[in-house]
Chain A
Amino acid sequence: MVEVRNLRKRFGPVAAVDGVSFAALDGQITGLLGENGAGKTTTLAMIGGVLKPDDGSIRIDGADTRSSQDGRRELGALLDHKTLYSRLTARENIRYFGELQGLPAADLDERVSSTLSLLGLDGLADRRAGGFSQGERMKVALGRAVVHGPRNLLLDEPTNGLDIPAVRALRGWLRGMRDRGICILFSSHVLEDVLALCDRIVIISKGRVVADGAADAICRHADCATLEDAFVRLTAPGSVQPCLPTA
């Protein structure tokens, strides 16, 4: 489970994240939706530990990340940085991150092999990553995020640049992970992906949460027939009250 409370981050005069609070639950796919520059990536980067929040708290499986690294070990993250080491093979790329995440040497090879199989990469395992397609690179990047078996997964725009078969394969894989009880926090600006996958949606606009709930509840609150119309209405300044869960 990932909980963020009153998260704030400024870059100079710009408040990129301005009091964001939500919880992503186990066994659910929570979508983080917002326009470009809304604060999605910044929020995920803070949860992932790449950026330090100016204020607020982040808890991963109950552990406050300010005082303990325990939560981070249960986190697998894939931000919009999917570059692989091109001179290393798919297996070596994933193995490297398995070692960094503290997988014991006795288990490492087996875990890497099972991750490669899970992602359908057996045929590419020992090929250097330099010649991989977008979809293949995405799979290896996912592999290095999940090789250590995290219970929480952060994904930032994972379908960017993927063709239709790759998107469908990724969606199926994410549903499988959700059904195994993994908490998945998934950011996107593509409504189709969000509608296809997410059990709950958090809409961020200008660094603030303007909606948090299931897609149909958000549409009802915004009095709109489609999530797209609800998104436009909720992100227009002053047009409608935010749709937030009751305490």
Chain B
Amino acid sequence: MPAHSLIVARKEIVDHLRDRRTLASSALYTLMGPLFVMLVSFSDQAGGKPVVLLSMMSVFALVSAFTGGMAVAADITAGERERRSLVPLFLTSIARRDVVFGKWLATCAFALGALALNIAGVAAVMALRAPASLAANALPLASWVLLGLAPLACFAAALELLASAACRTTKEAHTWLTFVVFVPMLVGMFLVFHPISANGWLALPVIGQQLVVERALGGAPVPLLQGIVLALATAAATIPALAGAVAILSRDDVLAG
């Protein structure tokens, strides 16, 4: 029942908004990218090259789509298994899939919030250091955020829930989530220095998002249809991740924590 999922999501959001330490840590992590771009913008090498700054921004934004919901995902699955607070939830008549869907909605909320903070930070840096470039690229960048990064943040939330659900402690979850976050970093850095031109890659999550922004910043048009296909492909990739999390939390060993 969707209503149950919304109840779970609301509780998780209220609960984690009160975790100020983790919120502050996530915010600092998210703002590291814009701060780094700001520092680089003062360098002699990159200072006069807005496209370099925007390329760096794209990698950091890609990573922030993954890091924004990481702490929450770890806490509401592996953390709850460790604290043994999942079982009381499963003793109610709510279905496991509704629990997982609600937790995913909450993780998405934090992931999208972190992404918004990251984008706002970069926009502020660009407005300060390269306002003409920002104005020229505003529309493609906005499209990229809406059709590319936002679905990616939701896919990342699902992936992080899946990885965390398989872990019995928060520490174990954070170890595995480090690898999950490493993937977009690796992809982003690789594509900055070794661009791919084939269109087929545009439909793949992570790679597609990076390619779209590279093309947009390079002045090449990105058809709306391709953006929508990428958004749908990313959304579709979310489904098996969530189904996996439901399967894991339906196992008997969840009783043991």
Q: Is B88 in contact with A144, judged by CB distance below 8 angstroms?
A: yes
Please tell me if B7 contacts chain A, counting CB pairs below 8 Å.
yes
- Secondary structure of the B contact surface, majority rule: helix
B15 touches A101 (CB 8 A): no
Residues on B with beta carbons closer than 8 Å to the beta carbon of A100: 4, 7-8, 89, 92-94
Which residues of chain B from 69 to 101 have any CB-CB distance to chain A below 8 Å in the complex? 83-94
- Give the number of residues in B that approach A within 8 Å (Cβ atoms): 23
Does B49 count as interface, using CB distance less than 8 angstroms? no
B90 close to A49 (CB less than 8 A): yes
List the B side residues contacting A51 at CB < 8 Å: 252, 255
Binary flags per residue of A47-76, CB closer than 8 Å to B gives 1, else 0: 011111000000000000000010011010
Complex Cα–Cα for A191 and B83 (A): 28
Known: A97-B92, A101-B92. A81 touches B85 (CB 8 A): yes
Q: B residues touching A (Cβ–Cβ < 8 Å)? A: 4, 7-8, 11, 14-15, 18-19, 83-94, 252, 254-255
Q: Which residues of A contact B (CB under 8 A)?
A: 11, 45, 48-52, 69, 72-73, 75, 77-79, 81, 83-85, 87-88, 92, 96-97, 99-102, 141, 144-145
Is B252 within 8 A of A81, CB to CB? no
Other than A50-B255, A97-B88, A100-B7, give 7 A-B pairs with Cβ distance below 8 A.
A11-B252, A49-B90, A50-B91, A79-B88, A92-B11, A96-B7, A96-B11
Chain A residues closer than 8 Å to B91, beta-carbon distance: 48-50, 75, 77, 79, 145
Are B85 and A85 in contact (CB-based, < 8 A)? yes
- Whether A45 pairs with B255 at a CB distance below 8 angstroms is yes
Q: Collect the chain B residues with CB atoms within 8 Å of residue A48's CB.
A: 91
